[in-house]
């Protein structure tokens, strides 16, 4: 592809955005940035250190300790005070409990302000697929291609449940669904950078569509944009 694009993928938990973003990045040899992991890293450390979500100063200090070293293979790593909290074997940041705390912490302005420049500098040269809740609206408002993925809450709960079981965790489908609904509510209603599609995003409802098909749909749009052919 001719131009190194900035591609954003936003959507609620369980919409499939992490899986498809990673595959898309791999296929086009772009860097992959999972911004949910940054909020999860802060949540994980805050829990370990007993830091309250009301303690803006301590949370900001945690953010200052975050580092995203760029990997040659395009894989993303997140270090907090030198500790790698992102490896495939590191499940501490991937639990539902930490997802829920990350959702609360992500509503704190001091945290969002501190993480903003970090995310922008990771994407400043393009050639990146970046996923989260506010990629197309706040972090990369001038992105070349913006996707918003969504899916029916029952399907999202089922996917999330399967993922948790696959990772060796204990999970209950009803609880997972209730957790997703709570997070959706919080992430869409918060005052700062709430989850919503950017006006110029391509919205894909992934309910009943398999991953390969979603990636294929995205690739068509990405290739058109890379050639400078507008796709809507
Ligand atoms: O995508 P995820 O489940 O790993 O994200 C965890 C939480 O982090 C999510 O509930 C809301 C928050 N988040 C955010 O506010 N903004 C982002 N760009 C990414 C995640």
40 CB within 6 A, ligand 1: yes
Q: Which distant-in-sequence residues (6+ apart) come within 8 Å of 16 by Cβ?
A: 149, 151, 159, 206, 211, 214
Q: Could you tell me how far CA 150 lies from the centroid of its own chain?
A: 13
| Distance between CA atoms of residues 71 and 29, nearest Å | 12
183 CB within 6 A, ligand 1: yes
Q: Give pLDDT, residue 23.
A: 96
103 CB within 6 A, ligand 1: yes
Beta bridge partners of 146: 8
Cα of 154 from ligand 1 centre, angstroms:
19
102 CB within 6 A, ligand 1: yes
Q: Which distant-in-sequence residues (6+ apart) come within 8 Å of 190 by Cβ?
A: 106, 107
Q: Give pLDDT, residue 59.
A: 97
Which token pair is 168? 């060796």
| Distance between CA atoms of residues 155 and 87, nearest Å | 27
Q: Give pLDDT, residue 171.
A: 87
The pLDDT profile of the chain, 232 residues, written as one tens digit per residue, is: 567 899 999 999 999 999 999 999 999 999 999 999 999 999 999 999 999 999 999 999 999 999 998 776 667 889 999 999 988 778 889 888 999 999 999 999 999 999 999 999 988 889 999 999 999 999 999 999 999 999 999 999 999 999 888 877 788 999 999 999 999 999 999 999 999 999 999 999 999 999 999 999 999 999 999 887 544 4
- Going by alpha carbons, the residue nearest to atom 9 of ligand 1 is 103
For 43-70, how does the pLDDT look when each residue is reduced to its tens digit (9 = 90+)? 999 999 999 999 999 999 999 999 998 7
| Distance between CA atoms of residues 145 and 160, nearest Å | 26
CA-closest candidate to residue 45, choices 108, 98, 88? 98
| Distance between CA atoms of residues 175 and 85, nearest Å | 25
- Domains observed in the chain: 6-226 (3.40.50.300)
| Distance between CA atoms of residues 36 and 39, nearest Å | 5
Ligand 1, closest atom to CA 135? Answer: 18
Cα of 2 from ligand 1 centre, angstroms:
31
Cα of 38 from ligand 1 centre, angstroms:
8
Cα of 3 from ligand 1 centre, angstroms:
28
């Amino acid at each position: 592809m001719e131009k190194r694009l900035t591609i954003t993928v936003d959507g609620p938990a369980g919409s499939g955005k992490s899986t498809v973003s990673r595959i898309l990045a791999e296929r086009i040899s772009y860097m992959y940035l999972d911004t949910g992991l940054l909020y999860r890293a802060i949540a994980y450390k805050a829990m370990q250190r007993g830091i309250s979500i009301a303690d803006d100063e301590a949370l900001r200090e945690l953010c200052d300790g975050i580092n995203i070293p760029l990997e040659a293979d395009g894989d993303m790593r997140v270090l907090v005070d030198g500790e790698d909290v992102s490896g495939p074997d590191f499940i501490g940041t991937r639990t539902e409990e930490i997802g829920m705390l990350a959702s609360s912490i992500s509503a704190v302005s001091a945290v969002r302000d501190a993480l903003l420049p970090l995310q922008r500098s990771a994407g400043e040269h393009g050639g990146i697929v970046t996923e989260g809740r506010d990629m197309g609206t706040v972090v990369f408002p001038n992105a070349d291609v913006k996707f918003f993925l969504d899916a029916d809450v029952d399907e999202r709960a089922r996917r999330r449940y399967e993922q948790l079981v696959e990772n060796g965790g204990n999970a209950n489908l009803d609880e997972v669904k209730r957790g997703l609904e709570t997070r959706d509510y919080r992430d869409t209603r918060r005052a700062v950078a709430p989850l919503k599609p950017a006006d110029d995003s391509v919205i894909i409802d992934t309910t009943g569509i398999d991953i390969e098909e979603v990636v294929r749909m995205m690739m068509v749009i990405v290739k058109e944009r890379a050639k400078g052919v507008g796709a809507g």
